[in-house]
C-alpha cells in the first residue's frame, strides 16, 4: 500500500525548515517534532503527514464509534486530533462556554505522503498512487534548504486580551476551593483563555518562533484548511507500542534561571515541594485507574514517580505510568477509556469536569485535547495540547489558554503567577 524510500541528509535542522515550508502547499498538514529529546519512548525526531486521501470530521456525538469504524476500515496511518469536548461522548456532560475558535470536535486524515526523520535518515512513505513523486519531492525540498525565503514585512505585536481578569480569576478559584473543602473534588485543573480578535498571523512563522524558544518534546504544527495549531507541548498523553501503553502526566512547574546555581536551587525546590508532589501523585492515581479499564489485570505500574525534567522555559515534574493490554484490544477503546487526560481534568474526574465547565469562561476545544497518529497496526502516540496557540484564519481569531491544578492548599495568587509563567512563551511570540 505504501512505498518506502530512505535518504541520508547531513543538515537535518535546515531540512526540517525546508520540509515545513514545502508542506504549506497542502490543505492538510500535521508535523510532530521531538526537538532532539531522546526519551525511552521516543519513536522519531520528526514526522510530517500531508495531503488527505480520506478523512473523518465530526462533532462529539458518537465520535469514538465513528473513529473506531474509520480506523478499522483504513488500517493505515491516520493523523489528527481529538478535542477536550469529546468528554461529552463519554459522560453525560456538555460544553456551553464561549467558543471563538469553532474547530470541529474531532478530525483525522489518511495522508498520501508521510516523511519521517530519524537521526540523519529521512524516510518517505507514500501511497502507491503518488509513489512516483518521492524523488521529485525530495529534490524540491532539498532545493530550498539553502535559499533564505524572504520573510514578510515585520508585523506589529498583537494586543492580547484576557477572557477572565485577575479579580474574577481569584473569585472563580475561590469557588473551586469551596468545592474542594466541601469534599466534591480533591483537585481540578482550572484554565483561562488569552485571545485576540480581528487578527491575522503567519501561522508557520509563529510556530517556528514558538518552537525555537520552547524546543518541547511533543511539539506539533497542524493546518487543516483554515484552522491552525502551533504547539510547544512538553507532555505525552498516551502511547501504544505493541501490547504496552504508556502515559506521562505532568503536574508541577517551576521557572528556569540563567544563573546555574539559582536554576539548580529552583529544580531542587520543585523536587521537594510537597504541594506539587501531592498534585502529581493524585493525577498518577487517576491515570492508573483510567488505564486499568484497558489493561490486563495487575499490569498497571508506575515506572517513574515525580521526576523533574528541565525544558528551555520551565522545570516540570513528570511521572510515567505503564500497562499491558491484550493483543486484540481496540486502540480507539483505549483512548476512550482514558480520555480526557487526568492532568487536564482532576479527581474524581467526572465531578472535576462538571465543576470546570461551570467555572471556566471559554470552551476548551482543542486546548487540553490531543494531537497525534495511529500506525497501520494499531499503535498510536498522542500529546497533550498545552503551551499552544490556536488560530482560525477565516474568523481572524487567535487564542491560547493556560491552566493550573487547584488543590486544598492552593493559593489563588500563586496559581495566577503559575498561569502567567506558562503563558510567557506564547505571549512573547505573539506580542513581539
> How much of the chain, in percent, has pLDDT values that exceed 70?
98
Mean model confidence pLDDT for the chain: 95
Q: CA 186, CA 408: separation in Å to the nearest integer?
A: 7
Task: Say how far apart CA 306 and CA 301 lie, in whole Å.
Answer: 14
- Assess whether pLDDT exceeds 70 at residue 155: no
For residue range 10-59, list pLDDT tens digits in order.
Answer: 999 999 999 999 999 999 999 999 999 988 999 999 999 999 999 999 99
Cell of 23: 508542506
Q: Are 86 and 369 in contact (CB under 8 A)?
A: yes
How many C-beta neighbours within 10 Å does residue 183 have?
8
The total number of residues written for the chain in this structure: 432
Q: Give the residue ranges of DSSP H helices in 186-251.
A: 203-214
What separation in angstroms does the CA of 120 have from each of 40, 170, 220, 276? 19, 50, 20, 39
* pLDDT at position 153: 44
Work out the number of other CB atoms within 10 angstroms of the CB of residue 319.
Answer: 23
pLDDT in tens, 164-201: 999 999 999 999 999 999 999 999 999 999 999 999 99
Q: Crossing angle, helix 349-359 and helix 166-182, to 10 degrees?
A: 150
Decide: helix, strand or coil at residue 362.
strand
Q: Is the pLDDT of residue 431 over 80?
A: yes
Is 145's pLDDT higher than 90? Answer: no
Q: What is the pLDDT of residues 329-387, one digit of tens each?
A: 999 999 999 999 999 999 999 999 999 999 999 999 999 999 999 999 999 999 999 99
Give the N- to C-terminal CA distance of the chain in Å, as an integer.
46
Rounded to two decimals, the pTM is 0.96
- DSSP code of 195? E
- Which domains does the chain carry? 2-145+158-431 (3.60.120.10)
The CA R_g of the chain, rounded to the nearest whole Å, is 21
Catalytic positions, please? 235, 251
Amino acid at each position: 500500500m505504501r512505498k518506502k524510500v530512505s535518504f541520508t541528509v547531513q543538515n537535518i535542522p535546515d531540512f526540517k525548515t525546508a520540509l515545513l515550508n514545502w508542506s504549506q502547499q497542502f490543505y492538510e498538514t500535521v508535523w510532530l517534532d521531538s526537538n532532539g529529546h531522546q526519551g525511552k519512548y521516543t519513536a522519531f525526531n520528526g514526522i510530517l503527514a500531508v495531503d488527505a486521501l480520506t478523512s473523518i470530521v465530526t462533532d462529539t456525538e458518537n465520535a469514538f464509534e465513528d473513529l473506531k469504524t474509520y480506523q478499522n476500515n483504513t488500517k493505515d496511518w491516520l493523523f489528527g486530533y481529538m478535542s477536550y469536548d469529546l468528554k461529552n461522548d463519554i459522560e453525560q456532560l456538555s460544553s456551553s462556554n464561549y467558543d471563538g475558535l469553532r474547530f470541529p470536535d474531532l478530525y483525522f486524515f489518511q495522508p498520501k505522503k508521510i516523511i519521517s526523520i530519524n537521526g540523519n535518515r529521512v524516510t518517505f512513505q507514500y501511497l502507491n498512487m503518488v509513489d512516483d513523486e518521492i524523488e521529485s519531492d525530495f529534490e524540491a525540498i532539498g532545493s530550498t534548504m539553502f535559499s533564505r525565503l524572504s520573510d514578510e514585512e515585520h508585523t506589529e505585536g498583537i494586543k492580547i486580551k484576557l477572557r477572565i481578569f485577575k479579580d474574577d480569576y481569584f473569585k472563580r478559584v475561590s469557588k473551586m476551593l469551596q468545592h474542594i473543602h466541601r469534599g466534591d473534588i480533591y483537585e481540578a485543573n482550572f484554565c483561562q483563555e488569552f485571545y485576540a480578535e480581528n487578527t491575522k498571523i503567519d501561522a508557520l512563522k509563529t510556530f517556528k518562533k514558538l518552537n525555537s524558544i520552547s524546543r518541547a518534546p511533543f511539539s506539533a504544527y497542524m493546518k487543516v484548511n483554515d484552522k491552525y495549531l502551533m504547539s510547544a507541548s512538553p507532555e505525552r498523553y498516551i502511547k501504544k507500542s505493541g501490547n504496552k501503553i504508556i502515559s506521562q502526566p505532568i503536574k508541577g512547574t517551576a521557572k528556569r534561571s540563567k544563573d546555574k546555581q539559582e536554576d539548580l536551587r529552583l529544580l531542587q525546590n520543585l523536587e521537594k515541594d510537597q504541594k506539587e508532589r501531592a498534585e502529581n501523585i493524585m493525577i498518577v492515581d487517576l491515570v492508573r485507574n483510567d488505564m486499568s479499564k484497558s489493561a490486563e489485570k495487575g499490569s498497571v505500574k508506575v515506572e517513574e514517580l515525580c521526576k523533574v525534567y528541565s525544558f528551555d522555559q520551565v522545570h516540570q515534574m513528570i511521572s510515567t505510568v505503564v500497562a499491558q493490554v491484550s493483543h486484540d484490544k481496540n486502540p480507539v477503546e483505549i483512548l476512550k477509556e482514558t480520555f480526557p487526560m487526568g492532568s487536564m481534568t482532576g479527581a474524581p474526574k467526572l465531578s472535576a469536569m462538571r465543576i470546570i465547565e461551570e467555572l471556566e469562561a471559554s470552551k476548551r476545544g482543542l486546548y487540553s485535547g490531543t494531537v497525534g497518529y495511529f500506525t497501520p497496526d494499531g499503535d498510536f502516540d498522542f500529546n497533550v495540547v498545552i503551551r499552544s496557540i490556536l488560530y482560525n484564519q477565516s474568523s481572524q481569531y487567535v487564542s491560547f489558554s493556560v491552566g493550573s491544578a487547584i488543590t486544598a492548599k492552593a493559593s489563588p495568587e500563586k496559581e495566577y503567577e503559575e498561569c502567567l509563567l506558562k503563558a510567557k512563551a506564547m505571549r512573547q511570540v505573539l506580542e513581539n
